[in-house]
Structure 1
Amino acid sequence: MIPCSRVSILAEERESERAAAALEMEARVSVCGRGALVDGGTRKFLQPLHHQQQQTPPSLNRQTQIGTVPQLLAGGFAGAFSKTCTAPLARLTILFQVQGMHSDAAALSKPSILHEASRIVNEEGFRAFWKGNLVTITHRLPYSSVNFYAYERYKSLLESIPSLQSQGGFAGADIFVHFVGGGLAGMTAASATYPLDLVRTRLAAQRSTIYYQGIWHAIHTICRDESFFGLYKGLGATLLSVGPSIAISFSVYETLRSYWHSQRPGDSTVMVSLACGSLSGIASSTATFPLDLVRRRIQLEGAAGQARVYNTGLFGTFRHILHTEGPRGLYRGILPEYYKVVPGVGIVFMTYETLKKLLLHGPSNS
């Protein structure tokens, strides 16, 4: 016989997993520059603590739960703060990714992070590490809001499918709903906020010559020079990377966490979540980085009045890069991407939990 208290805890765990799924999909798709990643598994790292909170009796849950809007704001601010802290590495990633598009950048056949960082400081000043960060922050809240809302709608739609209803107690059905619903929500949020992602890339890729003066100037200039559809260059590569990114991040994280718990039952420390999440982010970044690089290059096609480099679409761009730069060309900038995974995850995790505590125990909740 299983004690009633244990049955109750198991039931609450199941409900907590469904609620946590809406949050865990916010990060890695982050079309805002692989934040992904950071952006890519960040919400998953909140699951263990979320599960611990949900295991408390319902009477305590009612007292310690924050509303949807404060939770959304806390998640958005945590993501924005993390992006700000890791912005220098994110900009280095973008600068390396777009090398090879034009002859002046192609000269750097062996890019060095230290060399490029020194160039930025000497030629553009220290503040240039945060070029495009304002639009990153501006992108975060609407992206989170659309993702959260769309996930709930898609989840309800999927759960209304008769074949899934007949397997309501089957774990595979829940995974399918979370995975497909999260993927569709990520694609919806990416499409809705994509112009901000493109503008961020254009601003971050500028070096000593400034063509775009800010967010609104960039949007106006792109529409004038390249038409309204110029704001959606590279969207196809973004949507193609959403599914594999979530799948890899989800699978690696859950596999590592399950293995760890099988070896050490009951051990759900922050460091375990951070380690598993970081490894899942690295795996996801490695697998989908070529798509992200192609996306960045397509986003910069025709920027600042420069001649087009790629005229054959997504797959033609892949072939062009492989032909001119070799397979390694698809991984330009992967090192700074790796370097920002662990601090990015840690900052998001700590900021999110700190804000939740402040919202729970602040003056308005006392």
Structure 2
Amino acid sequence: MITGLDKTTDNVAADVCVRLFAGGLAGITAASATYPLDLVRTRLAAQTRTMYYRGMSHALYTICRDEGMRGLYKGIGATLLGVGPSIAISFSVYETLRSCWQVERPHDSPVLVSLACGSLSGIASSTATFPLDLVRRRMQLEGAGGRAHVYTSGLIGTFRHIVRIEGIRGLYRGILPEYFKVVPSVGIVFMTYETLKMILSRRSTAE
């Protein structure tokens, strides 16, 4: 009996590890493939009165011309470092909260439980990885549209520069709007996932 239980626990742990690894790898692949578009979006959004880039295609062309192909991937190191932990934290916190909630309040709506737990997991994930996201955006804007070259020492150097000039709080500048974005979006993602899973499960059982 105990042996069977141990095997079941091992299988669950192995399944979780596989999902985390697959999710992290998928996130890294997607981030790498779409990163130039993310960089262009950041630069277009940062423009104020002086329109240095006239649009997406012009921005891609100008960045390649002025900064080379590598310019399209400024700050990607911070993104790749943050993708894995972000997925792992979000998934782990969500599963832990949902399991505890179902034990304590088994009659609550699964849809609302997944929405609440997903929102909280998004907060935990964003809090842990926000400094990397901030560093990424600072590096993306480096030298754009005549801006000064401030962060020229890579990922670690950018971290040090921000902490030295702005303090630890500087690494979390702008996190409140991030929470307002993450809480509904991540909650809705998990809620939709659990809802579709229940619907498909019922259909397969009925058939």
TM range, smaller chain: 0.7 to 0.9
Asked whether 1:242 is paired with 2:91, we answer: no
Amino acid at match of 1:298: M
1:315 maps to 156
Q: With structure 1 as the length reference, what TM-score do the two structures score?
A: 0.48
Distance of 2:86 and 2:189 partners within structure 1: 19
Distance of 1:283 and 1:240 partners within structure 2: 16
Cα 1:203–1:184 shift into 2, 3 Å: same
- Choose which of 16, 19, 24 in structure 2 pairs with 1:178: 19
**Cα deviation digits, residues 143-201 of structure 1 (max 9, x gap):** xxxxxxxxxxxxxxxxxxxxxxx99x811111111111111111111111110111111
Return 269-278 or 289-298, whichever deviates more. Answer: 269-278
Distance of 2:41 and 2:126 partners within structure 1: 19
Amino acid at match of 2:11: F
Cα 1:348–1:243 shift into 2, 3 Å: closer
1:194 and 1:231 in contact (8 A); partners too: yes
Amino acid at match of 2:142: E
Asked whether 1:205 is paired with 2:27, we answer: no
1:274 and 1:342 in contact (8 A); partners too: no
2:86 and 2:125 in contact (8 A); partners too: yes
Structure 2 gaps, min length 5: 1-6, 200-207
Shift of 1:348: 5.5
Asked whether 1:287 is paired with 2:133, we answer: no
Return 334-343 or 290-299, whichever deviates more. Answer: 334-343
- Choose which of 74, 93, 116 in structure 2 pairs with 1:252: 93
- Choose which of 86, 104, 108 in structure 2 pairs with 1:267: 108
1:139 maps to none
How many residue pairs get matched? 189
Distance of 1:265 and 1:170 partners within structure 2: 25
Higher relative contact order (CA 8 A, sep 6+): 1
Distance of 2:54 and 2:191 partners within structure 1: 34
Shift of 1:346: 5.7
1:241 and 1:288 in contact (8 A); partners too: yes
Distance of 1:256 and 1:317 partners within structure 2: 35
**Cα deviation digits, residues 78-117 of structure 1 (max 9, x gap):** xxxxxxxxxxxxxxxxxxxxxxxxxxxxxxxxxxxxxxxx
2:166 maps to 325
1:241 and 1:292 in contact (8 A); partners too: yes
SS at 1:170's partner residue? helix
Q: With structure 2 as the length reference, what TM-score do the two structures score?
A: 0.84
Q: What percentage of aligned pairs have identical amino acids?
A: 74
More helix by share: 2
Structure 1 gaps, min length 5: 1-165, 358-366
Asked whether 1:342 is paired with 2:183, we answer: yes
For the aligned residue pairs, the C-alpha RMSD in angstroms reads: 2.3
SS at 2:27's partner residue? helix
Amino acid at match of 2:23: G
Distance of 2:191 and 2:168 partners within structure 1: 37
Amino acid at match of 2:111: V
SS at 1:204's partner residue? helix
Amino acid at match of 1:315: I
Distance of 2:65 and 2:40 partners within structure 1: 14
**Cα deviation digits, residues 212-264 of structure 1 (max 9, x gap):** 11110110010011011100001111000011111111111111000001112
SS at 1:271's partner residue? helix
Shift of 1:270: 2.1
1:1-366 matches, cutoff 5 A: 170-345=11-186
Shift of 1:321: 0.4
